[in-house]
Amino acid sequence: MIETDRWPLTRLFEQMHDAVYLLDPLSSNVLWTNRAGWEMLGLGADEVLDHSVLSLQKDVVGLPQWVEIAQVIRSQSPYVFVGRHRHRDGHEVPVEVQTTCFVHDGQELFLSVARDVTRRLALEHELHARERQLWFALNEAADGLWDWDMRDDSVFFSPQLERMLGYGPQEMRPTLQTWEANLHPEDAPRVRQLLLEHLEGLRVRYEAEYRLRNRNGHYLWVHDHGRVCDRDAKGCPTRVVGMVQDITDRKHLQLSLELQASNDGLTGLPNRRRGEAELTEELDRCLRNGASLGLCLIDLDHFKRINDVHGHLQGDEVLKEVSGLLEAALRRGDLAFRWGGEEFVLVCPGADATGVLSVARRLQELLAEHPWAQRLGLERLTASIGTAVAPVHGADLRKLLASADAALYRAKANGRDRIEMAGAEGLDSGLGVSSAQAGRPTWVGRP
């Protein structure tokens, strides 16, 4: 028996929170333990001396296994072992045991320090659970996760992101070029610029809404955002992570609502608010570039009679037919929108007097050739058209519209079914032609 009471350090061991056991290497019997050792097992100070590693440690079964462990302790001292101690009431105490082999008075002994790791294991389990939940949230619950290593331009695409774009596992090449190749051409410059501004520190984070092509060639609307998460010794970004959310349904709804707010519900043409905004932009652009802009104000002749005789539903059908003819009369880059009621506007950027009159005459021809009787039971449909050209007839929107409106009034006063050009000051000294004269245009006055 080892006389442990003679050891000057025994009282110090009693102050330790970790359990300390002195073991016989041959039998694994407990020769001595400190207070923490027997309290950890729920035993008394004397009771613990009746036990051995074989009776206290659940993960060491039988003397042969202990002999093998003892040999390892001798060769790898200190030896760390993670196991489970048996508590007196039957539950298990997870422990991390560090055992050292030494010789005292010619006798080989093992000194084991056992630490209760119950709390640490619980924290590790909680951490692992949170990591699994976080990974699930990022990889499954969210639409997609990407991780860009800027050092070699490699990109990790999460399985959910691959599925969102119609690809199978590992099918998307993990490169930046894969993402860039799927950007919509119209969105790509803006998206690249936003990402560059973030990398250069001009934006707190990268964020963009754009169209991304899936495997079938269709485009999804996505909301993409990310941040630099790693930098090199010089502060240059080396890694960026982000998430992609599929917003296709929301975006289509948004675009639909915007279309309803900016387009005429009956004809599908831009409404007056949107039309005036686009007319203002085109006028400003033409004036900046030293170009002209032609404008036509169109009023369907005797439209109230159509509503009175044929009904408002028939009148609505007429307006729909006219909107199609307006679009057919336009040149590339021209704009048509509904001004209100039976009035429409044609905007012809870059057109001079000859150009805008050509567009107006084309519309007259389409109205005359259209099978109104066959389609809607009408004998015919004509329009009065007032035209003006910026900057000759007005260098701002108000003056240009006033000039065109004066020309329209003159067309109606002169018998309707005719085109009138505004005068130099927007007065009644313009030129005009009726659809009956269209085959042999005879102009009155000068532009």
Query: Do both 210 and 234 map to the same domain?
Result: yes
Q: 445 lies in a domain?
A: no
User: In which domain, by residue range, is 179 found?
Assistant: 128-252
Query: Do both 283 and 409 map to the same domain?
Result: yes
CATH assignment at residue 275: 3.30.70.270
| Burial per residue of 271-303, b for 16 or more beta-carbon CB atoms within 10 angstroms, e otherwise | bbebbbeebeebbeebeeeeebbbbbbbbbbeb
Q: How many residues does the chain have?
A: 447
Query: Do both 59 and 98 map to the same domain?
Result: yes
Q: What pTM did the predictor assign?
A: 0.47
Cα 235 from Cα 416, distance rounded (Å):
74
Query: Do both 137 and 109 map to the same domain?
Result: no
Q: 447 lies in a domain?
A: no
The residue among 291, 274, 248 whose CA lies nearest residue 390 is: 291
Domain count, the chain: 3
Q: 259 lies in a domain?
A: no
CATH assignment at residue 231: 3.30.450.20
DSSP letter at 140 equals I
Query: Do both 284 and 410 map to the same domain?
Result: yes
Cα 213 from Cα 138, distance rounded (Å):
22
With 0-12 / 13-18 / 19 or more C-beta atoms within 10 angstroms meaning exposed / middle / buried, residue 446 is exposed
pLDDT in tens, the chain (447 residues): 455 555 556 777 788 889 999 999 999 999 999 999 889 999 988 888 889 888 888 888 888 989 998 999 998 878 888 889 989 898 899 999 999 999 998 999 999 999 998 888 888 888 787 777 766 666 665 578 899 999 999 999 988 899 889 888 888 999 999 999 999 999 999 999 999 999 999 999 999 999 999 999 999 999 999 999 999 999 999 999 999 999 998 888 877 776 667 788 889 899 898 899 999 999 999 999 999 999 999 999 999 988 888 888 988 999 999 999 999 999 999 999 999 899 999 999 999 999 999 999 999 999 999 998 887 788 889 999 999 999 999 999 999 999 999 999 999 999 999 999 998 443 333 445 555 554 433 333 223
Query: Do both 289 and 312 map to the same domain?
Result: yes
Q: Where are the alpha helices (DSSP H) in 141-245?
A: 159-164, 176-181, 188-199
Q: 257 lies in a domain?
A: no
Cα 370 from Cα 62, distance rounded (Å):
104
Query: Do both 220 and 337 map to the same domain?
Result: no
Cα 165 from Cα 226, distance rounded (Å):
19
Query: Do both 273 and 389 map to the same domain?
Result: yes
Q: 443 lies in a domain?
A: no
| 3-class secondary-structure state, position 196 | helix
Q: 188 lies in a domain?
A: yes
Domain final residue, candidates 230, 252, 274: 252
Q: ∠ at Cα 159 (156, 163), nearest 5°? A: 125
C-alpha torsion sign, points 359, 365, 368, 372: negative
Place of tokens 């831009």: 270
Query: Do both 112 and 134 map to the same domain?
Result: no
Q: 345 lies in a domain?
A: yes
Query: Do both 233 and 110 map to the same domain?
Result: no
Query: Do both 362 and 398 map to the same domain?
Result: yes
Query: Do both 357 and 215 map to the same domain?
Result: no
Contact 97, 70 (CB under 8 A): no
C-alpha torsion sign, points 84, 88, 90, 91: negative
Q: Which residues contact 48 (CB under 8 A, 6 or more apart)?
A: 30, 33, 37, 38, 41
Q: 444 lies in a domain?
A: no
